[in-house]
Structure 1
Amino acid sequence: MTTLQIILIALFIYLGSIGSIVGNTIGWYTLGRPLVAAFIVGLIMQDVQSAMIVGIALQIMYMGNVTPGGAVAWDLSYATYIGTAGALVFGKGLDSTELIGMAVIFAGIGGLVGQLMWNVSYALNLPLNRIAQKYAAQGETRKMWIPNVALAQTIGFLCRVVPALIVLTSMTAASQQADFASLIPGWVTTALGIFGGMMAALGMGIILSFLWKKQYQIVIFLAGFILVTYFELSMMAVAVIGVIIAVLYFYGFSNTENREGIKS
């Protein structure tokens, strides 16, 4: 990676975090999503196709990521941006499964660093409450932006950009050594790729558990699965068929209710 690419990825790691300067809607809920983050990294590193292969897997894996009781899980922004960048740097020539496995390795590193920096950020933000309380007690409301915006954003920026620069720079330096990639056995990346697929299946299972309201609806899912797997139809074709069936079902159900209403 070039210096400019490292700086841009580190900057988006900050922008995609909770409470960044662009707000949570644009930041955490948009730039912080794995699919969007992978696309941005792909644009920066000029390999969108490989980045999207990784991004789709990480996005589905994130759906299976549950934080019970408000527990702090892996840092999504750190994990996705660093994971995708690591896969593109070290995953040249690998197949999709191994590429995803490589992304899982670096996503774990990024998530661990991000989780650590979240705790550091929380600790550094504690004194800001006293500063804000002091201004509030003195009635100096015009100075409230200093602890709440200026100092808070500075802490957030430093806690995310600086460690990201260190990690990405270290990755770049390691990638320049020809024998570094050989230190990671092929079975490790393959196993992690399979594990990523299991997490993806878990994520889809969680989504389907919310979508299935009645037991017979599993038949609809299996019908779509058969059309894609055995009849080799594209996702767009299956979606069109699903829309047609939904429209026919809706109007058929509505006409049945109308006829019963007239009879009664």
Structure 2
Amino acid sequence: MTLELISQARIFDGWQRTYSHQSAATGTTMRFAAYLPPQAEAGPVPVLWFLSGLTCTEDNFTQKAGAQRVAAELGLMLIAPDTSPRGPGVPDDAENAYDFGLGAGFYVDATTTPWSAHYRMRSYIEDELPELVGASLPADMTRQAISGHSMGGHGALTIALRNPGRFRSVSALAPIGSPMNCPWGEKALTGYLGPDRAFWREYDACALIADGARVPELLVDQGAADNFLTSQLKPELLEKACADAAIPLTLRRQEGYDHSYFFIASFIEDHLRYHAEALR
């Protein structure tokens, strides 16, 4: 499996690049963004994965978060995958809804038709892409961290909980705390996995924690003026699950902030420094 360089730009003495490759997991051409800090020219550097939210591609975090300046200072490689398979033959929501289908892979391996043929983002993010990054880029895969926003926050939390010991640190910005208990998650999990809620538990951070999964600690930022706060994100459910399991959770409710990339840009430096400390 080989990478094709689609674009690159010099930024803060590093390189912002977009790559594509053929994916065995999804059966499609996939794209991801990679920021290589200047330290990568001297050898492998630690990796921070950032998983984006609904409607996003690999470009949203790359172009809107403003993370490269601090990543260059800290020597962090930033990997931002796409949020779903795309291309000819990849099904989309019948009504072109934003919260299912293209741009809304929910980081699951679908088991229902027609989604199961291509919507295998769990296998792609957990297995295929890390192997490719480790083999093709100057990445120190012994030092990995993971973060994400909204649907991507859900992805970061569940991937870390299912892979204990892989990530030295985990954080999220406005994550979907319990997809089993919100409209976005119920729609996606029903569509991709079917109606049996028992199969949903491995894709719900609160359920994984209740079932015994653990991470050393969590950092979560949540905008208090987020219009999805009470209906979709429900950080209080994650807060309770962590408290019940004695997982140290730093949950910062940020007054006046919404769900947008203005919120992410305001706090991404804190998250990068948090991860860099753990990756030292």
Q: Which has a greater percent of strand? A: 2
Bin the TM-score by the shorter chain.
Answer: under 0.3
TM-score normalized by the length of structure 1: 0.25
Larger-Rg structure: 1
